[in-house]
Amino acid sequence: MKRFAFVLARDFTLSPLSLFVDTLRLAGDEGDRSRRAAFDWQIIGELGLPIRASSGIELMPTAPALRPEDYDNILVVGGLLGRKNSLPASAERFVEGAARKGVPVGALCTGSFVLAEMGLLDGHRASVSWFHIEDFRSRFPDVDASCDRLFIVDGNRATCSGGAGAADLAAHLVSGVIGEQSAAKASRILLLDRVRDADAVQPNLELFPEAKTLSVRRALLVMESNLQEPLAIVDVARSVGVSTRQLDRDFASQLGTSPARAYLKLRISLATRLLSSGKNPVGEVAFQSGFANAGHFSRVFRKMTGLSPTEASRRSPAL
């Protein structure tokens, strides 16, 4: 039996924990009996003291933070960002002890921020939600973070973007123990459309809903991850494993535009959101959206939107 330990941050997000545990229980037993047949799991913490989720629901720990080597996987479930000391000291020592002893350590949702703060993701690849990727990269430059995967397993570290991505990470780990059919069974019972593997991409922003193929969707996510310092299109193509010519054809057939034009549209969309808050000076918006100077940015912005940046900043956030 494989044993999982869950370490919950203060104000942790409940859904990734629930989806991960349910995948373990449904995959590891016959039918829907909820027995701990192939897998066992514990909530680590001080016994008798509940841990509060961001939704207000409280869970009671089921095992103390003593011996990480008693478990096959340790998973930190992240919570609301902006908090210092999101893990109690005993829980932090438990996770650090696991890493020292070679026990695989992973993160669900914003748990990646917790592991990165502890230095446990330095030199590793990590999956971070597109919503948090820029903040994560600015805070943890020694981590190879990306938002173009639902989850990443890199050696003894595993991270996922959150939400249903936790079920996909769980299914990946389940498949390695009892096979893909058991993981698929859990997915069907949870009414998830399919088990998504490590090559599946995070859902894209809604700017290009017509993007269908994996290469185009992944290319858009690579672009979204690099707006402040835009990549050359040849580097975007290389990162998704296709030639620039093929990427040009795919963008033309699916989006009716070129990769360079789509990239520019993403940058202008970011600039519009920043301007609509009314809190960002034009020069700062130009910098954050990847333009060398405010003059060039203003000319391109007016051409794309019909408004000057100053006019856009006076509009509502719904612009």
Pairing of strands 125-127, 157-160: unpaired
Mean residue pLDDT across the chain: 90
Chain-centroid distance of CA 102 in Å reads 24
Tokens read off for 285: 């918006």
Cα angle value 191/193/196 (rounded, 5°): 120
Q: What is the mean pLDDT of residues 203-224?
A: 81
Last residue of some domain: 189, 222, 240?
189
Q: What is the mean pLDDT of residues 96-124?
A: 97
**Position 196 in a domain:** no
Tokens read off for 22: 């349910």
The total number of structural domains in the chain stands at 2
- Choice among 48-52, 89-93, 182-186 with the minimum mean pLDDT: 182-186
Domain shared by 66 and 177, yes or no = yes
For the ranges 24-28, 73-77, 268-272, 274-278, the one whose mean pLDDT is highest: 73-77
Tokens read off for 158: 């595993």
- Choice among 226-235, 292-301, 310-319 with the minimum mean pLDDT: 310-319
Domain shared by 132 and 256, yes or no = no
Domain shared by 49 and 154, yes or no = yes
pLDDT on residue 268:
93
pLDDT on residue 319:
35
Residue 317 reports pLDDT greater than 50: no
Phi-psi region of 122 (alpha: psi -120 to 50; beta: other; left: phi over 0): beta
The pTM assigned to this predicted structure is 0.72
| pLDDT confidence tier of residue 225, bands split at 50, 70 and 90 | confident
* Sign of torsion over alpha carbons 258, 264, 265, 270: positive
| pLDDT confidence tier of residue 106, bands split at 50, 70 and 90 | very high
**Position 221 in a domain:** yes
Domain shared by 167 and 211, yes or no = no
pLDDT on residue 36:
87
Residue 205 reports pLDDT greater than 70: no
CATH number of the CATH domain containing 308? 1.10.10.60
Cα angle value 72/152/114 (rounded, 5°): 70
| 288 burial type by CB count under 10 A (0-12 exposed, 13-18 middle, 19+ buried) | middle
| pLDDT confidence tier of residue 218, bands split at 50, 70 and 90 | confident
Residue 149 reports pLDDT greater than 70: yes
**Position 183 in a domain:** yes
Q: What is the mean pLDDT of residues 299-313?
A: 93
What count of other Cβ atoms lies within 10 Å of the Cβ of residue 104? 18
**Position 306 in a domain:** yes
Q: What is the DSSP string of 90-152?
A: HHHHHHHHHHHTT--EEEETTHHHHHHHTTTTTTSEEE--TTTHHHHHHH-TTSEEESS-SEE
Domain that holds residue 214: 204-319
**Position 167 in a domain:** yes
pLDDT on residue 116:
96
Q: Are the CB atoms for 297 and 271 separated by under 8 Å?
A: yes
| pLDDT confidence tier of residue 231, bands split at 50, 70 and 90 | very high
**Position 198 in a domain:** no
